Amino acid sequence: MLAAGALPPLLAGETGTPSWWLGAGVAAGTAAGLLVLVVRARTARPRLTTALRQALGPQAVPQRRRHGLQRGLVRG
């Protein structure tokens, strides 16, 4: 949402105001923070699975299933 608010002034060439730069900076910081969270979450899953299996046994961690959008698709 923050990036969508910064886009019209950017296209119009009105990027000289401090408020635009502040909004663009906040949007960039938010995007960077979300990217860091995604990367950390994807790299943490195997480590957490291994730790849980060592602590609680192999039956404690369910197998990972990757159905995603394919579950609802009709195959012909």
Mean pLDDT of successive 10-residue stretches along the chain, which has 76 residues: 66 76 85 93 87 85 65 54
Query: Are 61 and 52 spatial neighbours (Cβ–Cβ below 8 Å)?
Result: yes
Give the per-residue pLDDT at 12. Answer: 76
Give the per-residue pLDDT at 45. Answer: 84
Tell me the Ramachandran region of residue 67: left when phi exceeds 0, alpha when psi lies from -120 to 50, beta otherwise.
alpha
Alpha-carbon separation of residue 76 from 43, 45, 51, 66 (angstroms) = 36, 34, 41, 20
pTM: 0.53
Give the per-residue pLDDT at 38. Answer: 92
Give the per-residue pLDDT at 23. Answer: 80
SS3 (DSSP) at 57: coil
